[in-house]
Amino acid sequence: MNKKQLYEVAEQLMTPGKGILAADESIETATKRLKAFDIESNEDSRRAYRDLFLSTEGIENYLNGVILFDETIKQDNSAGIPFAQLLTQKGILPGIKVDGGKEIDPNSPKETLTVGLVGLAERLSEYKHMGAKFTKWRAVIKIEGDTLPSKSNIRMEAKRLAQFALVSQQIGLVPIVEPEVLHDGNHTLERAAEVEQLTLQAVFEELESVGVDLKALILKPSMVLPGKDAVSSTPEEVAKSTAEVLLATVPKKLAGVVFLSGGQEPEEATKNLGAIVKAEKFPWPISFSFARALQTPALTVWRGKEENIEKARDVFTQRLKQNQLAIQLD
C-alpha cells in the first residue's frame, strides 16, 4: 500500500468545485431505469446508456470521478475507447462499485446485509489493472418505526464496510463507504437523524478498529431526510440536521464527504446539497455523488434515440452545472 498515492487520489476526488457521478447501477437497476423510458435492456443498450453520459463533452469541468459497474468498466464507448481509458484521458478518475448486492440478514429477516467480501482482493486487483483508482461499497439501512434498523444489523453492515475499505487500501485503491439510510416510509426528520447518527458512529468505530486510514477514505452518506410519506422538510431543516449528525460523528481527518441523492427529485437534491454546504464550516471538503438526480432528466430527453443524444447531453451538463453552483461557498 502506497499511502502517498492513496492520499493523492483521495485529494483529487475531493478537488473543490467538482463531484462524482455514480454510473454504477447494477444490470437489474439499469434495466429498471431503461424500461421506465421504454428502452429494451441488453448489453448494447446499457453501453449506450453509459456512453450518453461518459462521452459528453466537457464533463471534466464538473466531475472528479465516475463510479462504474463491472459490465461498464469492460465496455468501450461509441468510438471504441474503453470507458476507464476515456475518463482517464479527460482527467477524471475511474472508480468501481464492488459490493455484490444484498442478502437477507439471518438475525433480522426484514433487513439485508451487503455481500461481496469473498474473493474481494482478487477482484480489486483485476479492476486496478483495468484502470480503476477507487472503489465503492453500498450498505442499506432501513427505518421502520422504532424497531428497525436493529443495532445488530447496523453493526454487521459497519463491519463489512470496514473490511471492504481495508482490503481496498491494501490493494492500492481509495474506498468510498456508502451507508445509505433509506428515506422510504413515514418516519420524521428527527428519527432519520437518530438512525443516521447511530449508523455513522458504528461505521467509524469499525473503520478505526481494523486500521483503515481515514485520510484515504471518502464517506458517501445520506442526507438526513424525513420519510417520503411524512411531512417534507425545508432545505434549511435538512441542512441543520445533516450538519449536526456529521459534526457529531465524522472524524476530522477524513478525506471528504460526497452525498448521495437517495431517490430525491433532481432539483430537491441540489437545493438540499447547497443548503448543507452552507450550513456550517466543515473540517472536510463536501461535494456530491449523485446517480438518478444527475441522469434522469437526460434520460427523459434521450429515450434511447440517437437523434436525441445531443439534447440529452445538454440537459446532463446543465444538471452538472447546477450542482457545481450548489457546492460553491462564494
The 10s digit of each residue's pLDDT in 126-173 is: 999 999 999 999 999 999 989 999 999 999 999 999 999 999 999 999
Please answer whether residues 213 and 6 qualify as being in contact, where contact means their C-beta atoms are separated by less than 8 angstroms: yes
pLDDT tens for each residue of 283-295: 999 999 999 999 9
The answer to whether residue 205 is catalytic is: no
SS3 label, residue 150: coil
Work out the average pLDDT over 243-270.
Answer: 97
Query: What percent of the chain clears pLDDT 90, i.e. is strictly above it?
Result: 98
In tens, the pLDDT along 108-126 reads 999 999 999 999 999 999 9
Where does the pLDDT of residue 93 fall: very low under 50, low under 70, confident under 90, or very high at 90 and above? very high
Q: Report residue 330's pLDDT band, with 50, 70 and 90 as the boundaries.
A: low
List of domains in the chain: 3-325 (3.20.20.70)
pLDDT of 1: 60
Instruction: Name the phi and psi angles at 298, rounded to 5.
Output: -70, -35
CB 19 within 8 A of CB 323: yes
Give, rounded to a whole angstrom, the gap between the first and last alpha carbons of the chain: 37
- 142 grid coordinates: 432501513
Sign of the dihedral defined by the CA atoms of residues 138, 142, 143, 149, in that order: negative
Distance separating alpha carbons of residues 61 and 324, to the nearest angstrom: 9
Options 18, 220, 240, 271, the catalytic residue: 220
pLDDT digit string (tens) for 50-65? 999 999 999 999 999 9
Of the chain, the percentage scoring pLDDT greater than 70 comes to: 99
- Tell me what the pLDDT averaged over the chain comes to: 97
How many Å separate Cα 230 from the centre of its chain? 24
pLDDT band of 2, cuts 50, 70, 90: confident
Q: Average of pLDDT values for 201-218?
A: 98
Over residues 86-100, the mean pLDDT reads 98
Active site residue 178: yes
Q: Which of 178, 180, 196, 206 is catalytic?
A: 178
Residue 159, C-alpha cell as written in the block:
463491519
